[in-house]
Amino acid sequence: MKLENILQEKITPFNNWQLTKFTFDKENYYLFVEIDSGITIVTKKIDKDEFQDTLNDVTNSFEYITPQQREAIFNTNSDSGFHLDYQPSINSPITKYVMDYVKNSSQDLNQKVDFNDKSIDAQDKAAILSIILMNLSRDHMMRTIETIAFKTNQAFPIKTKHPRTNAKYQNLSPKFIDPNHWEKYVNQDISKNSKVIAEIKKNNEKIIDQYLKNAQMDFNEFTANPREQLKDFVANCNNKLNTFS
């Protein structure tokens, strides 16, 4: 993969990468950060095939977007190449965040996975490093997930299908209280109002329980706990609930 060729590629959503070299555990790696979305890819060499293999592993972990959208992100960087910004100086905030962590917390990184385990080959190690560096902290992880989901739905929207005319549909009666019940607390500090906070959290659990009971999908396919992801979603699904998160 020649850098001068990559630099000529057209910038499109999800293909604008910053490249930085770093050292971890006495080994050299290359860190690719997609500037707009924050996707993080680690490789041992500046090699297109290795980059694509790791990108495939990483995008497959994005369970919060559809399989078609994951494939679209991958194809954006595999069919026509990608734009690469190779700078000694770090301008991307996410690149700086990751590099600061690697520099100051390499021991913590080593504790997350036994990188000396001989059963982990070089490709698996690159994929594991990539995913770990995208999830350094809960706040960083949530910001990255929200950004990727938002950018994906802008670049690769999935259109809602029209309902079948010969199908019967039934609306479920809600087994929870309408969140508007707590509308009077919007934009108020309720951090010390433990009773209201407990009521809202209990109601959020009822919303999630009803969804998990009735959603027509196989949750066994998820590597992460869908309940924990749904808690974050329910707490942030609108501005009103942001007050209660």
Does 169 map to a domain? no
Q: Rounded CA gap, 41 and 43, in Å?
A: 7
Last residue of a domain, one of 108, 123, 155: 155
Domain of 97?
3-155
Q: Rounded CA gap, 143 and 148, in Å?
A: 9
What is the domain-level CATH number for residue 20? 3.30.420
Last residue of a domain, one of 91, 121, 155: 155
151 and 42 both lie in a single domain: yes
3-state helix, strand, coil in the chain (%, to 5): 50, 10, 40
38 and 150 both lie in a single domain: yes
Tally of domains in the chain: 2
202 and 98 both lie in a single domain: no
140 and 23 both lie in a single domain: yes
146 and 210 both lie in a single domain: no
pTM for the model stands at 0.67
Does 236 map to a domain? yes
pLDDT, tens digit only, all 245 positions of the chain: 444 444 445 677 788 888 889 988 888 999 999 988 999 999 998 888 899 999 999 999 998 899 999 999 999 887 655 666 655 555 678 888 888 888 888 777 777 777 777 778 888 888 999 999 998 888 888 889 999 999 999 999 988 777 777 777 777 889 999 988 998 888 888 888 999 989 999 999 999 999 888 876 766 655 567 787 788 777 766 444 444 44
Q: Is 107 exposed, middle or buried (0-12, 13-18, 19+ CB in 10 A)?
A: exposed
